[in-house]
Amino acid sequence: MTDPSNEQPTPAPAEGASPADAAAPGTYAPPVAPRKSRATLITVLVAVGVFVLVGIGVGTWAVVTALAGPTKQALIEQNVEEARNSYDLPAQVDEVTILTDIVAEESAIAYHYTLTGVDPTLVTEDLLRSVVQPALCSTPETEKLLDLDIAVKYTYEVEGTDDVYELEFTKDDC
């Protein structure tokens, strides 16, 4: 066992130094990730999910009203109207995501996004689904919509490419 009083303090890295510069001599320091790495993309997409859930939450009262009478399509249109009134579209969600539209579709609420300034090779349907689905399925408001057989759709267009990703979530996904 070493005596902690004999240990030398680790010097602070120089201002502007990367984490790799702070590694002790002879130890491995992983390379610094690019500015808009996969981790950043995942963080951003989680933020998008939270942003959308706030919009869905605005229309929650409509779900309760729907149980008393309006049709499913009327409920969808009412939720879309509430969500659209919550945002000045197009709305910059975060540094790479723009919410461009929210529309009522047959048995679904559809959100349309544009991803900007991202490496298109990092964006996949599986990545988007893995980020959006847990956030979507974790809110009571969304569960109520899905329980009424109202699907929630997301369309992501990657700016500067022809890449378009379409995701649809139903009660069975949660």
* CATH label of the domain that carries residue 85: 3.30.300.250
Secondary structure class of 25 (helix, strand, coil): coil
Residue 50 lies in a domain: yes
- Cα Rg of the chain (Å, integer): 22
Q: Are 122 and 135 in contact (CB under 8 A)?
A: no
Is the distance from CB of 116 to CB of 98 less than 8 angstroms? Answer: yes
Q: Please state the pTM of the whole predicted model.
A: 0.63
Q: What pLDDT, on the 0 to 100 scale, is given for residue 70? A: 82
Per the domain annotation, does 96 fall within a domain?
yes
Q: Does a structural domain hold residue 47?
A: yes
Q: What is the pLDDT of residue 153?
A: 97
Query: Do the domain assignments include residue 73?
Result: yes
**pLDDT score, position 18:** 47
The answer to whether position 26 is within a domain reads no
Number of folded domains that form the chain:
1
Q: Could you tell me if 153 and 101 are in contact, meaning their C-beta atoms sit under 8 angstroms apart?
A: no
Per-residue pLDDT of the chain (174 residues), as tens digits, is: 555 555 554 444 445 444 444 445 565 555 554 456 777 777 667 666 656 665 666 555 555 555 556 899 999 999 999 999 999 999 999 999 999 999 999 999 999 999 999 999 999 999 999 999 999 999 898 899 999 999 999 999 999 999 999 999 999 999
In a domain? residue 160: yes
Residue 43 lies in domain: 38-173
Residue 15 falls within a domain, yes or no?
Answer: no
- How many helices (H) and strands (E) in the chain? 5, 5
Sheet containing 164-169: order of strands? 91-92, 97-105, 108-115, 151-158, 164-169
